[in-house]
Amino acid sequence: MTRTHCPYCALQCAMHLEPGADGALAARPAAFPTNRGGLCRKGWTSADLLASPDRITAPLMRAGRGTGFTEVDWDTALDHVAGRLRELRAGHGPDSVAVFGSGGLTNEKSYLLGKFARVALGTSQIDYNGRFCMSSAAAAGMRAFGLDRGLPFPLADLGGADVVLLAGANPAETMPPMMGHLAAPRLIVVDPRRSATAEQALANGGLHLAPRPGTDLPLALGLLHAARTQGLLDHAYIDARTTGFDDAWRQAAAWWPEQTEHVTGVPAAHIRRAAHLLGTAARAYVLTGRGAEQHATGTDTAGAWINLALALGLPGRHGSGYGCITGQGNGQGGREHGQKADQLPGYRKIDDPRARAHVAGVWGIAPEDLPGPGRSAYELLDALGTDGGPRAMLLFGSNPAVSAPDAGRVRNRLAALDLLVVADFVMSETARMADVVFPVTQWAEEDGTMTNLEGRVLRRRAAAAPPEGVRTDLRLIGDLAARLGQPAGRFPADPDEVLAELRAASAGGTADYSGVTGERLASGEELHWPVPAGGAPTPRLFLDSFAHPDGRARFAPVAHRPPAEPTDTAYPLIATTGRLMGHYQSGAQTRRIPELAAAEPEAYVEVHPDTAARAGLAHGDPALVTSRRGTTRARVRHRADARRDTVFLPFHYGGDQAANNITNPALDPTSRMPEFKVSAVRLEPDGPDRQGGTA
């Protein structure tokens, strides 16, 4: 029996993997502070993927575009890729090669991949799918607090709260074990949908505020206005621990509850009641998720919720606070150690001379040899195969053919590359487009560390040997680096060696892991970063001061801007997207688990019956959801409590069922996160034999 952690979301629930009567591994829950002995449906079935018949067990290569894959040996595939990379770099420069990573990679892989891009390839063109997950809250948190960690307190602290506001988060479906921590507090759920989390809030005497998609920011301003007019602000805290309140208030002053209701659709009485519940609670938290962030105004929207929390005196108080619920398994650690285009290990900025000197010293190169910041995730994908854009991409653990916004355009850009190389353990939609596919290990076949939504560093343990012919991502990176002329030992394949180097590279940085040793991890010590060498971990940040030089938090003066794409007569509805309990991310893993696939086998569109009727659609009918970019096929599900102006689609399906065929790649100017949550669409029957209207 091996104790490890779930491969999916950022809760990183603890589990035991043990062989059953047939010898196959099975997952069982383990006691741990985040999941407290529970697992969701995905966790219970997670081991099933290890024996998937879709498993890739040998490198695959094409003779040319349009031809099928052929199995080859590792040396043949590695030599081919390295040769093509040398040719492209020689002919077009180092930035002709791009690297795309994942928030699901271990800390060791994330670190080594960033080093590989900048040292072995010399490219600035590296980013990762975590840009689509929490980057807006990260930017807002850095602006407000001087430091970004998803939850700056242990998750278990939520259980002692009186009130918790969840803006754009649905943990009852996305992180079910988290709901055990939210059973006692009264919940205020901000979500255009009557989600499972909203249902629980209402059942326990809480509130569900259902704003029109794209209006979370004015709702936060309206709550701040209502809290001030009710005399609920903590002025002593504002004066002692913050700056900038007056400028922030000037923006909120125009958002009295009736004005907020006019824009958001949330009744003024509900706004006043929510402000009263939050402002009179002895212990309260404001938490944000993707619903608040995945907008072209995501950083300011997260900032508006932070402003509300600061005005009520919550951040940095034991028993109260603000936090962001990270989504991907290593969404926190994945962005701390160098996958992001503008960052170096330890959450250092790549354009900071001192940061460059420190990391270059660890890597044994000159600081001037480090490239500068590159393109953000969508901008990188959109530049592939264009004049001046990358001509090759190495992709690890991500599936942008399904998960990126305006996915049809992204698929065209991937197809325009001279070379696409994918490292994965199943043939995702992106892997099927590749020129070379490398088979790599799964979560239960490798050691490494992950950092969960609390900033807690965890040890993942191997429970099984990988199939013959499969290698780890670390070994793959090292094998390629050696063929590109890197010295032996610069890219180790041993995760403990990589962690030791990561410790040195992160030392003194914002995300300091220098005290994260194998011995401390094995002892069960709770290691929330920063963990300086020889120092104690930091489970609760900001209790004494914030991370700005003056120790104060910053209010941000934020103003409402409408969504980047308006509705009109041709596209009269708003589409928003999200997750289901039984699937994860692009579905490349969970759609291959029979139990999960049977429960939700196809895409659907959730729509109010009146809206469906206007389009000539009954419950269960096949439908087309079309935006200015593309079309998604989905089956109609009536939902009587849905907003009449909004449809919802889960984003776990590929091909013509991919929700991201329709989503808008408009980017937040600060975080560069796309506007996944608001797309103007029309709804109509699918098929020539159907007659009906359009809604």
Q: What is the pLDDT of residues 515-545, one digit of tens each?
A: 999 999 999 899 999 999 999 999 999 999 9
pTM above 0.85, yes or no: yes
Provide the domain limits for residue 39: 2-51
| CB distance 304 to 295 below 8 Å | no
Considering the domain architecture, whether residues 288 and 355 belong to the same structural domain is answered as no
320/335 same-domain check: no
Which of 534, 530, 536, 537 is CA-nearest to residue 512? 530
Residues forming beta bridges with residue 680, ordered by sequence position: 574
Residues 417 and 306 in one domain: no
What is the total residue count of the chain? Answer: 695
Residue 201 lies in a domain: yes
CB 43 within 8 A of CB 27: yes
**Looking at residue 113, what DSSP letter applies?**
H
Is 159 contained in some domain? yes
CATH number at residue 337: 3.40.50.740
Report helix, strand or coil for 116. helix
Q: Do 286 and 337 have their domain in common? A: no
Domain at 293, CATH number: 3.40.228.10
Do 295 and 376 belong together in one domain? no
Six token digits for residue 246 = 């007056």
Q: Is residue 507 part of a domain?
A: no
In a domain, 446, yes or no: no
pLDDT of amino acid 20: 83
Q: Are residues 212 and 117 in the same domain?
A: no
- What are the CA-CA distances from residue 614 to residues 118, 213, 568, 610, 619 (Å)? 54, 21, 16, 6, 13
Q: Are residues 208 and 270 in the same domain?
A: yes
Burial class (CB in 10 A: 0-12, 13-18, 19+), 170: buried
Residue 352: inside a domain, yes or no?
Answer: yes
Residue 144 tokens read as 């407000």
> Residue 522 is encoded by which pair of tokens?
């094995």
Tokens of 623: 């439908």
568-623 tens-digit pLDDT: 999 999 999 999 999 999 999 999 999 999 999 999 999 999 999 999 999 999 99
Final residue belonging to a domain, choices 480, 498, 516: 498
- Say what angle helices 473-483 and 107-115 make with each other, to 10 degrees: 10
Here the CATH number for the domain that contains residue 670 is 2.40.40.20
Q: In what order do the strands lie in the sheet with 69-71?
A: 69-71, 60-62, 436-439, 419-424, 392-396, 97-101, 126-128
Asked whether residue 514 is assigned to any structural domain, the reply reads no
Residue 181, classed as helix, strand or coil, is helix
* Percent of the chain that is helix, strand, coil (3-state, to 5): 35, 20, 45
* Counts for the chain of helices (H) and strands (E), in that order: 23, 29
125, 142: one domain: no
Query: pLDDT digits over 256-271, tens only?
Result: 999 999 999 999 999 9
Using the 3D structure, point to which of 16, 34, 51 is the last residue of a domain.
Answer: 51
pLDDT of residue 694: 67
Same domain, 87 and 139: no
Number of domains in the chain: 4
Mean pLDDT by 10 residues, the chain (695 residues): 95 94 90 95 95 95 89 98 98 98 96 98 97 93 96 97 97 96 97 96 97 97 98 98 98 98 98 98 97 96 98 96 92 90 96 98 98 97 97 97 97 98 97 98 96 96 95 98 96 98 97 96 94 95 97 98 96 96 92 94 97 97 98 97 96 96 97 97 83 61
Spatial separation of the C-alpha atoms in residues 198 and 203, rounded to whole Å:
9
Q: Are residues 653 and 672 in the same domain?
A: yes
pLDDT of residue 148: 93
In a domain, 542, yes or no: no
204 and 315 inside one domain: yes
Nearest to residue 147, comparing CAs of 360, 315, 357? 315
Using the 3D structure, point to which of 498, 514, 532 is the last residue of a domain.
Answer: 498
For the stretch 407-428, pLDDT in tens is 999 999 999 999 999 999 999 9
The enclosing domain of 39 has a CATH number of 2.20.25.90
Start-to-end Cα distance in the chain: 54
Coil, strand or helix: which one is 435? Answer: coil
In a domain, 596, yes or no: yes
Q: Are residues 423 and 374 in the same domain?
A: yes
Q: Which two tokens stand for residue 312?
A: 């009520």
